[in-house]
């Protein structure tokens, strides 16, 4: 006997008349029909494509940066002469932020047996490495491939895995900060302790700061609504705020910029988009370029190189972006020498 869940309140004594097609058996029938069509769907894609190399892309969530990686990857493959749906079998799945779905996508790829799997983000790459250990894997935007146990050596990964890490050059960022604002001794870093990438970055930031005799003050948040408060908590404890490539902090960047402008506290960022939104400066890379760099590795694998013999790469193309307007609002004068090196200056 079925018992109501108690989540729905009976609305009135008047009987609700539901359309007949909403029966329980309908759900069962739909599932079964689906299962049946599943078998048919298989054949529709197989004929005529036996020779074309297949590439399967898995991505943890749809997000502008990650989508840019995917688009860059596709563009690079097209430039190398692989035309999706003609000379290349291209397949893409998003796990919608759900790691269990990422695992299931990985298992599906294991069955499809493509020539190369591209995994965008750490959990997606880990899921593929566990579910499809026999497939060549090129990962992208994995900040710490060693820490994620994807490879044991960055120069010679061995096995079937290589890729592009999206590690931002935090040491260069610190140099940039002290170049623009030499008086800065304490740097506040605002990030979400629940994001792997950020935790790795802050660890590196601390090590780099120790080398440059700088002090790091941490402010962690769990979601975007806490960012404004965390930024305020840094007032008086720091000489500048640095926002790494942290999804939560970057999502609520404007609230940090506001704190910076009101308190003449310079705000720096790890990515160039944040500079467009109001941070003073960054030495960042474009996720589209990371995608293209990933694509170059994929092409090498498709042409017969063993992934394990290709060194893991970090973004090669770095652009200095400066927001002169924000600098002025935060009471900072950017030295001419730095300005002249900028790829883009926002006025």
Partner 1 sequence: MTTLVLSSLIAPDALDRLIVPLSGALELGLLYGLVAIGVYVSFRVLNFPDLTVDGSFPLGAAVAATLIVKGVNPIAATVVAMLAGAIAGLCTAWLNVQLKILNLLASILTMIALYSINLRIMGQPNVPLLGQTTVMTLLEGGLKQLPSVLSPFGTSLVLLAIVVLVKLGGDRFFRSELGLAMRATGENSDMARAQGIATHHIVLLGMALSNGLVALAGALFAQVNGFADVTLGVGTIVFGLAAVIIGETVVSGTTIFWATLGAIVGSILYRIAVTMALNTDFLGLETQDLNLVTAILVALALVLPQYKRIKWRFR
Instruction: Note the residues at the interface with partner 1 (CB under 8 A).
Output: 1-8, 10, 15-16, 18, 22-25, 27-28, 31, 34-43, 46, 62, 93-101, 103-108, 110-113, 122-123, 126-127, 129-131, 147-150, 193-196, 199, 222
Q: d(Cα 126, Cα 106) in Å, to the nearest integer?
A: 9
CB of 97 to partner 1, least distance (A): 6
Q: d(Cα 258, Cα 173) in Å, to the nearest integer?
A: 21
Q: d(Cα 77, Cα 74) in Å, to the nearest integer?
A: 5
CB of 245 to partner 1, least distance (A): 15
With beta carbons less than 8 A apart as the criterion, state whether 54 and 89 touch.
Answer: yes
CB of 126 to partner 1, least distance (A): 4
Q: Which residues contact 293 (CB under 8 A, 6 or more apart)?
A: 72, 76, 164, 313, 315, 316, 317
Measured from the CB atom, is 46 or 340 closer to partner 1?
Answer: 46
Measured from the CB atom, is 125 or 187 closer to partner 1?
Answer: 125
Measured from the CB atom, is 16 or 337 closer to partner 1?
Answer: 16
CB of 88 to partner 1, least distance (A): 18
Closest CA to 66 of 140, 136, 125, 118: 140
Q: d(Cα 68, Cα 275) in Å, to the nearest integer?
A: 18
Exposed (0-12), middle (13-18) or buried (19+): which is 261, by Cβ within 10 Å?
middle
> Which residue in the block uniquely carries the two structure tokens 């069962």?
28
Measured from the CB atom, is 112 or 276 closer to partner 1?
Answer: 112
Measured from the CB atom, is 96 or 341 closer to partner 1?
Answer: 96
Q: d(Cα 195, Cα 188) in Å, to the nearest integer?
A: 18
Q: d(Cα 307, Cα 199) in Å, to the nearest integer?
A: 28
Measured from the CB atom, is 116 or 279 closer to partner 1?
Answer: 116
Take residue 221 and report the two structure tokens written for it: 């948040």
CB of 181 to partner 1, least distance (A): 31
Measured from the CB atom, is 105 or 118 closer to partner 1?
Answer: 105
Measured from the CB atom, is 24 or 347 closer to partner 1?
Answer: 24
CB of 277 to partner 1, least distance (A): 25
CB of 106 to partner 1, least distance (A): 8
CB of 17 to partner 1, least distance (A): 9
CB of 122 to partner 1, least distance (A): 6
Q: Rounded to the nearest 5 degrees, what angle is found at the Cα of 239, between the Cα atoms of 238 and 244?
A: 75
Alpha-carbon separation of residue 300 from 121, 136, 140, 297 (angstroms): 21, 12, 15, 5
Q: d(Cα 59, Cα 105) in Å, to the nearest integer?
A: 9
Q: Where are the alpha helices (DSSP H) in the chain?
A: 24-45, 64-79, 99-112, 122-131, 170-180, 196-211, 227-233, 247-251, 253-263, 272-276, 287-302, 324-329, 336-341
Measured from the CB atom, is 200 or 326 closer to partner 1?
Answer: 200
């Amino acid at each position: 006997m079925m018992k109501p869940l108690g989540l729905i309140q009976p609305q009135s004594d008047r009987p609700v008349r539901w359309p007949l097609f909403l029966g329980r058996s309908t759900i069962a029938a739909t599932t079964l029909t689906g299962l049946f069509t599943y078998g048919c769907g298989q054949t529709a894609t197989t004929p005529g494509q036996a020779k074309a190399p297949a590439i399967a892309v898995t991505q943890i969530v749809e997000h502008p940066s990650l989508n840019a990686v995917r688009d860059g990857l596709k563009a690079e493959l097209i430039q190398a002469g692989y035309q999706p749906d003609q000379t290349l079998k291209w397949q893409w799945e998003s796990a919608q932020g759900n790691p269990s779905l990422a695992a299931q996508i990985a298992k599906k790829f294991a069955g499809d047996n493509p020539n190369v799997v591209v995994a965008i983000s750490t959990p997606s790459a880990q899921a593929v490495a566990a579910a499809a250990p026999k497939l060549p894997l090129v990962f992208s935007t994995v900040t710490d491939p060693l820490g994620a146990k994807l490879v044991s050596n960055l120069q010679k990964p061995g096995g079937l895995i290589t890729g592009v890490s999206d590690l931002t050059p935090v040491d260069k960022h610190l140099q940039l900060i002290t170049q623009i604002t030499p008086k800065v001794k304490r740097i506040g870093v605002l990030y979400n302790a629940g994001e792997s990438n950020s935790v790795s970055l802050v660890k590196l930031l601390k090590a780099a700061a120790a080398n440059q005799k700088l002090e790091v003050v941490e402010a962690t948040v769990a979601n975007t609504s806490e960012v404004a408060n965390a930024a305020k908590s840094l007032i008086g404890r720091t000489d500048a705020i640095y926002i790494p490539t942290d999804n939560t902090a970057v999502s609520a960047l404007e609230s940090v910029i506001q704190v910076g402008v009101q308190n003449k506290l310079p705000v720096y960022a790890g990515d160039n988009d944040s500079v467009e939104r109001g941070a003073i400066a960054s030495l960042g890379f474009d996720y589209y370029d990371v995608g293209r760099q990933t694509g170059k590795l994929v092409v090498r694998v498709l042409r017969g190189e063993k992934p394990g013999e290709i060194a893991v790469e970090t973004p090669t193309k770095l652009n200095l972006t400066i927001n002169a307007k924000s600098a002025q609002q935060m009471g900072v004068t950017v030295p001419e020498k730095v300005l002249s090196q900028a790829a883009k200056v926002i006025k």
